[in-house]
């Protein structure tokens, strides 16, 4: 695939503001956090990776208490 050809990839995080600050702290330009709904899952922001692929980041607060992959099952890359 050509760099930058993937658009609309999605990440889910427990805290969108914290994730955005982490990216900004690493020099990544990211859009403002926007809430489209008061319901969990209605908050988003976006950014582009160094190749130009675009990402949407969705906040699901439930992931803080109930991650898809439990910490103990994450292996060497889960740290």
51-69 pLDDT, tens digit each: 999 999 999 988 877 777 7
Instruction: Decide which of 5 and 55 is more confident.
Output: 55
CA distance 21 to 59: 14
Give the model's pLDDT for residue 77.
Answer: 57
Give the model's pLDDT for residue 53.
Answer: 94
Ordered strands of the 34-35 beta sheet:
9-13, 54-59, 43-48, 34-35
Domains in the chain with CATH codes: 9-66 (3.10.180.10)
Specify whether the CB–CB gap between 33 and 19 falls below 8 A: no
Mean predicted confidence (pLDDT) in 23-52:
94
Specify whether the CB–CB gap between 53 and 7 falls below 8 A: yes
CA distance 75 to 33: 31
């Amino acid at each position: 695939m050509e760099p930058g050809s993937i658009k609309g990839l999605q990440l889910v995080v427990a805290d969108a503001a914290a994730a955005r600050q982490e990216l900004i702290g690493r020099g990544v330009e990211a859009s403002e956090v926007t809430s489209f709904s008061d319901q969990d899952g209605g908050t988003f922001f976006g950014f582009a990776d160094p190749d130009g692929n675009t990402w949407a980041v969705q906040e699901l607060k439930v992931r803080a208490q109930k991650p898809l992959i439990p910490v103990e099952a994450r292996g060497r890359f889960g740290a």
